[in-house]
A and B are shown apart, each in its own frame.
Chain A
Amino acid sequence: DQQVKQNSPSLSVQEGRISILNCDYTNSMFDYFLWYKKYPAEGPTFLISISSIKDKNEDGRFTVFLNKSAKHLSLHIVPSQPGDSAVYFCAASGLDNQGGKLIFGQGTELSVKP
């Protein structure tokens, strides 16, 4: 069973507009969430994280929102730029998750069109 789900395999957005990437999880013991960005032929790179004691974390153009009651998090990119085109993975970790290892979603491919 998939504990972390990204139900949209792809998303296309116009440059300058907002990109919203969504992620759902099922394990209520998850308490730390991360977003990674991946370009083709490269390894994933860390983007932003949020602890379950917060509901929002901001870093420049990137904001992550956490809704614990809905077991849902989202990544907002404002404004979107062509260089943001990549695959985005959300990941979750919890103390019951065999020592805090990361569980990744399937990824969402973002395409930002000029």
Chain B
Amino acid sequence: NAGVTQTPKFQVLKTGQSMTLQCAQDMNHNSMYWYRQDPGMGLRLIYYSASEGTTDKGEVPNGYNVSRLNKREFSLRLESAAPSQTSVYFCAAAWGHRDEQYFGPGTRLTVT
């Protein structure tokens, strides 16, 4: 079992470009999450999906969109990247909203 996988591992974008970060889990978990990690800020929730077909905003959703394509996959899209979106992005999955979350290895994104 791979657990939670994320692609790509690294990405450099120019301001205004768009891209989609992919996340997949093979644990049959219901809930999936997207976080960003910035120095001194911890992990902040961008969007989450409590179950297939539902998505909700987290703490810092502006500038992002998500799609829960099926139970396995949860993608994060930046429509028009800004330097403030330079960060490390983590996807996570959990059986339920109140259960421990399993994290992917992260995507390091730089926007110039």
Contacts and interface: CB of A to CB of B under 8 A. Distances in A.
Does A pair with B?
yes
A44 B44 CA distance: 13
Interface in A70-114: 89, 91, 93, 98-107
A41 interface: yes
A105 to B, nearest CB: 5
Interface stretch (B14-22, B66-74, B78-86, B100-108): B100-108
Contacts of A91: 43
Contacts of B4: 43
Interface residues of A, number: 26
Q: How many residues of B sit at the interface, in one of the four size bands?
A: 20 to 34
Given A43-B4, A43-B90, A102 B101 contact: yes
B13 interface: no
A106 B45 contact: no
Nearest to A93: B98
A26 to B, nearest CB: 15
Contacts of A45: 103
B56 A98 contact: yes
A93 B97 CA distance: 9
B105 A9 contact: no
B43 A99 contact: no
A6 B35 CA distance: 18
A79 B101 CA distance: 26
Interface of A: 4, 6, 9, 32, 34, 36, 41-46, 49, 89, 91, 93, 98-107
Given A34-B100, A36-B103, A41-B106, 6 more contacts: A42-B106, A43-B106, A44-B43, A91-B43, A103-B59, A106-B41
5 contacts: A36-B103, A44-B90, A46-B101, A100-B97, A104-B44
